[in-house]
Amino acid sequence: MTRLAVFDCDGTLVDSQANICRAMEEAFAAARLAPPMRQDIRRIVGLSLVEAVTALLPDADPALHRSLAAAYKANFFRMRSSGELDPEPLFDGIPDVIAALLDAGWVLGIATGKSDRGLTHILAHHALTAHFVTLQTADRHPSKPDPAMLRAAIDEAGAAPETTAMIGDTSFDMVMARSAGVRAIGVAWGYHPAEELLATGAHSVADSPRALMAHLS
């Protein structure tokens, strides 16, 4: 039976917080709004853009949410096109755990709040594209923690919930995993603290990428 490990991207595979915070701050500044605190921006990483902006400005008009989300996307595209993006490094040990999972016969996927374009770029940049058989993004699914993208990953990989694990750094990932009936593995190196991951459904939390294999066994 297919064993499927589905990874979140931002905060789990790559440390992308600098670019996310900058693009969001510039979107708010362009709208003549006080930019959110960076710790607040990090907390919404993983949500789809409109949902992320709504979480930052819950009392604002939906039209403003959509406008800020569009400005964020435009900022990120400009930063990438002009070479202004800060490096988005893989967390230490991620290439090794990917190799170990593949050697052990796992099939790999990604479920992320990134766009198709953003995910394609980051995987190509780190030469990881060929390792993942299913890529699910915010372009084609409701925002996390809705389980739609995780269920699509399971179907596309030919797996089953009972042989699937979701690996992520946010409470959104843990709630999504539980809703889809899969194992929820939190990671302690991302953007939500370990105690929050456990409180929102993580079966366990890995302290480092090198520890992930033990949590998946």
In angstroms, rounded to a whole number, what is the distance separating the alpha carbons of residues 197 and 206?
A: 11
- Which of helix, strand or coil describes residue 110? strand
Tell me the two tokens of residue 122: 């980051």
The CA dihedral of 182, 186, 191, 195, to the nearest 10 degrees, is 120
Tokens encoding 51: 């949902």
The active-site residue, picked from 10, 15, 169, 173, is 10
Could you tell me if 45 and 20 are in contact, meaning their C-beta atoms sit under 8 angstroms apart? yes
Of these residues, 8, 15, 169, 173, which one is catalytic?
A: 8
Contact present, 3 and 105 (Cβ < 8 Å): yes
SS3 for 163?
Answer: helix
**Beta-bridge partner residues of 6:** 109, 166
Tokens of 190: 């991302």
> Is 10 an active-site residue?
yes
Determine whether 15 is an active site residue: no
- Spatial contact of 49 and 112, defined as CB atoms under 8 Å apart: no
Paired with 107 in beta bridges are 4
Antiparallel, parallel or unpaired: β 183-187 and 164-168: parallel
d(CA 12, CA 140): 21
Residues annotated catalytic, as ranges = 8, 10
